[in-house]
Structure 1
Amino acid sequence: MIREICRDEGFLAKKAEPAMMDDLGAAEDLLETLIAHKDGCVGMAANMIGVNKRIIAFDNGGKFMVLFNPEILKKSEPYEAEEGCLSLAGTRKAKRWRSVKVQYQNEKLQTRLKTFTGFAAQIIQHEMDHCEGILI
């Protein structure tokens, strides 16, 4: 189900709770909402659709991915970026890393490790900021 985009900064500033198996429906809604906004959006966190769980969805070079409970284990090559967000007006500067090694769970809550680089790494960092209640 395509959900409305949350713009409540008080809600968006809350740190997200760990995702569980019963959050699969919220992940499906998140992915459907992202796809519906794909012309102007490359990633979303669950709190952007009003669900306070550690779930992110993003376009990974033309293939959409959903990560449950993502955690950055390693990062390298810092740089400054300017980013926009569907939940907030305007753009903001952010420190990002060109490469991030991420531990996450798939839709079966199986733990996986993957290194992301370039734009995919930047998107993941932005969405993980949402999970931490950091408004970008």
Structure 2
Amino acid sequence: MIKPIIKDQQLLAKKSLPTTKADLSLANDLTDTLNAHQAECVGMAANMIGVNKNAIIARIGPFNIVMFNPQITAKSQPYQTTEGCLSLSGTRSAKRYKQITVQFKNRNWEEQTLKLTDFAAEIVQHEIDHCNGIII
């Protein structure tokens, strides 16, 4: 179901709670909402749609990848960039890493590990920041 985008910075600044198998249906809401905003958005965190759970979705190439309880386990090559956010107006400066490794549970609650670079890595870092209550 397409959900409204939360813009309340007090809600967005709260650290998300871990997801469990009971939260798997959240993948559908994240997918539907991201698809509805595909012209202006490449990723979102669950708190952006009003659910205080540690879950994100990222459009990586042609695929929407849902990640439950994502954690960055390795990162290298820091750089400064400017990012926008569907929940915020304007753009802001952010420190990111060119290469990351992220571990997460997928839609089938299976442990996954992805190595990402460049823009895909930046998207995932931005959304994990949301889960940690960090607003760019």
Letter of the 1:118 partner, please give it: D
TM-fit CA distance, 1:111: 1.0
With structure 2 as the length reference, what TM-score do the two structures score? Answer: 0.98
TM-fit CA distance, 1:93: 0.2
Instruction: Tell me how far apart the structure 1 counterparts of residues 97 and 68 of structure 2 sit (CA, whole Å).
Output: 21
1:3 is matched with which residue? 3
TM-fit CA distance, 1:98: 0.5
1:31 is matched with which residue? 31
2:67 is matched with which residue? 67
Matches within 5 A, 1:1-136: 1-136=1-136
Q: Structure 1: give runs of 5+ residues left out of the alignment.
A: none
Instruction: Using the aligned pairs only, state the percent identity.
Output: 52
TM-fit CA distance, 1:27: 1.9
CA RMSD of aligned residues (A): 0.7
TM-fit CA distance, 1:112: 1.1
Question: Equivalent residue of 1:81, what SS?
Answer: strand
Bigger Cα displacement from structure 2, 59-68 vs 125-134: 59-68
Question: Equivalent residue of 1:58, what SS?
Answer: strand
The number of aligned residues is: 136
Q: Runs of at least 4 residues of structure 1 off by over 4 A?
A: none
Assess if the C-alpha contact under 8 Å between 1:27 and 1:46 holds in 2: no
Instruction: Tell me how far apart the structure 2 counterparts of residues 62 and 117 of structure 1 sit (CA, whole Å).
Output: 16
Alpha-carbon deviations, 1:47-71, whole Å to 9, x = none? Answer: 0000001110011012111011000
